[in-house]
Structure 1
């Protein structure tokens, strides 16, 4: 039975793999402190769907996204980030930001093209590049932006940047962004900037690249309505860029998606202002929480990669004698605390773990951080015993490829 080698070469999403183990432990009645989820949980009321036009919401809708919601998103970018967007020619809505990143790569890259991805990098970027037959190459997280051009080759066709960064929380300033884009444009390469966490910034101004490059020359902006509104399961993302790019994305969307869920689009359009007004104060509360968690890390002597945004901390493992996967597995099995190993986010960040603060109470996070400190300073587990314990989990049956991920992680 033939399975594409391209697909086989793409790794599982490690964060989703970790979360599957959490679900299995919870099904067994275990209490797990979840610091691995890539979302923040807001209190969002459910407004009345009966106020929507049933003749519209039960059927297909515009493949580019309903015009009224596109107009609201364009206005949001203008009023909040000073970016002028033509909602008819420069914006498209689809099923989540993730699918649009993949479509953008599919629309702009040829087989064998190089994609430079700035570390720490959201774990789907390199795998999506592989799926479109491009070659992902990582930019070390500590490389000065002035040296970006030294990594370019005659095959470099795209640079991927997450700003604000998942998982570190770094926010790139105006001068850095301008320099990165100039380097790309001069080389004829696209700059794909993932601005999904644009609202999760508190202490420093967020600069959208769309403000610096108003004609979107060699620029693709990706964002998420559902992520920023605390309804990530609704899967509503959007892309902003030059008209030829949006036309290409629309062509792909027509053949792969048709349209984003019509009821969800009409709901978000009808209640847009209410959703934003409910979510943004909670976003701000999460960012204040992030500052308090940072204080906890400092109190415990836990180092992290510099950052001030998003609801993540990228924590260094110090002198822990094992690798990041062994650490995450030991923490989950012995202490029922879930984190994501750093190697999911690049080649040079294996000595980190991602901690998400968007779900658990601060009291439980504080207790978890103490356990993390104790595991870091304690002995490493026996890899063979750790493997046996992992393979005894129900995930072996519920997660295809579980054994392969375990073996790869422990052997790093």
Structure 2
């Protein structure tokens, strides 16, 4: 009898589909849904940025760029990082333009991981971190943060997870899904652990422009951390350019040149017209970024206060555009709450446990929606909480 043969990778077979996707699919089939589930700005990319892309097409700039990206764009990124975040990188040797921050994270992990290396993943976190570690041949080791500490990782919690196989830590501040932002003191404590154990930190700073109550501090700007930080960022969130799929990575030359080899074979280069758009965003897009940040802050203040008033305890997120309220007072799990809220009141949120075990009992709500939609969502959520 012929034996059944599978052609699929065991690693890929073991991956679970994104928990976010199921709720998007559910919501797509329901009319009148207010979606607080999408991690995407509701602003349109600035006109001058769109115009720059159009002009590049009209001028016939439709060929490949250098593998690492347009030199002009890398020079603008270098200047932007130095002026705004006080870290200096060589445009020619230490910056790569990527297809979104996600690709930057992917090639960074593939560049540093050998089979069996451990990478610490701090939860709750973006759903791709652990799968990307596994796909690179590494072992994700999760560390759970606590609601009582506003989901901030402590140096002690981090140190307890380190073994002789630990190669790196993935850090995200401001955080998706909690909105928690680490201040300079927090980062200095983490830096001390990284230096003590000779660890790399992959610092996901995609939400750096969206910090509300204090100035964002890049981990790479902490003393002694530039040489052991892979700084990942992009244009999706702060510049409202999600669909352009453009990110970048800054790191010491040894690391970026290793990443560039993978990038060359897998991608060649990021889309040319998107790169010209990004040049314009960095040169002339700051006013729009400031305007978006002010509006997000206003929405955050209203939405978080409203959540607490209706009985869903929520800490004040320092950045990004997510609130992460507790639903434990309702007696429902994260998934039960999210599913019933969608079916009964037509408000789409994401169960907190899809971002890790410590997210259980919470939901992620994006306030990157109009104030009118947020107000209506609060009314529906209040009605739902009172009913149950």
Using the size of structure 1 for normalisation, the TM-score is 0.85
1:298–1:178 CA distance, 2 compared to 1 (3 A)? same
- Which residue is equivalent to 2:331? 321
Cα deviation digits, residues 290-343 of structure 1 (max 9, x gap): 112122123223212452211100010123333212221211122211111111
CA RMSD of aligned residues (A): 2.0
Contact 1:122–1:345, Cα closer than 8 Å, also in 2: yes
- Which residue is equivalent to 2:150? none
- Displacement of 1:16: 3.2
Q: Name the SS of the counterpart of 2:119 in structure 1.
A: strand
Contact 1:63–1:253, Cα closer than 8 Å, also in 2: yes
- Displacement of 1:48: 5.4
Aligned counterpart in structure 2 of residue 160 of structure 1, from 170, 174, 177: 170
Q: Distance in 2 between matches of 1:374 and 1:23?
A: 22
- Which residue is equivalent to 2:356? 346
Q: Distance in 1 between matches of 2:233 and 2:52?
A: 26
- Which residue is equivalent to 1:356? 366
Cα deviation digits, residues 62-90 of structure 1 (max 9, x gap): 11011000111111111111111211111
- Which residue is equivalent to 1:100? 104
Following superposition, which runs of at least 4 residues in structure 1 exceed 6 angstroms of deviation? none
Contact 2:173–2:208, Cα closer than 8 Å, also in 1: yes
- Which residue is equivalent to 2:51? 47
Cα deviation digits, residues 329-364 of structure 1 (max 9, x gap): 2111222111111111112221110000102x3233
- Displacement of 1:123: 1.2
- Which residue is equivalent to 1:398? none
Q: Which residues of 2 match residues 267-282 of structure 1 at below 5 A?
A: 267-270=277-280, 272-282=282-292
Q: Name the SS of the counterpart of 1:226 in structure 2.
A: coil
Aligned counterpart in structure 1 of residue 381 of structure 2, from 372, 379, 387: 372
Which 5+ residue runs of structure 1 have no aligned equivalent? 380-412
1:294–1:58 CA distance, 2 compared to 1 (3 A)? same
- Displacement of 1:131: 1.3
Q: Name the SS of the counterpart of 2:226 in structure 1.
A: coil
Q: Name the SS of the counterpart of 1:62 in structure 2.
A: coil
- Displacement of 1:10: 1.5
Contact 1:268–1:275, Cα closer than 8 Å, also in 2: no
Q: Which residues of 2 match residues 284-295 of structure 1 at below 5 A?
A: 284-295=294-305
Contact 1:215–1:242, Cα closer than 8 Å, also in 2: no
- Displacement of 1:38: 0.5
Using the size of structure 2 for normalisation, the TM-score is 0.90
Aligned counterpart in structure 1 of residue 135 of structure 2, from 131, 134, 141: 131
Aligned counterpart in structure 2 of residue 10 of structure 1, from 7, 15, 19: 15
1:375–1:112 CA distance, 2 compared to 1 (3 A)? farther
62-71 vs 140-149, which deviates more?
Answer: 140-149
Aligned counterpart in structure 2 of residue 173 of structure 1, from 169, 183, 208: 183
Which 5+ residue runs of structure 2 have no aligned equivalent? 1-5, 147-152
- Which residue is equivalent to 2:37? 36
- Which residue is equivalent to 2:149? none
Alignment length (residue pairs): 374
Cα deviation digits, residues 110-165 of structure 1 (max 9, x gap): 22222111122111111111211222122121353244212211111111111111
Contact 1:302–1:373, Cα closer than 8 Å, also in 2: no
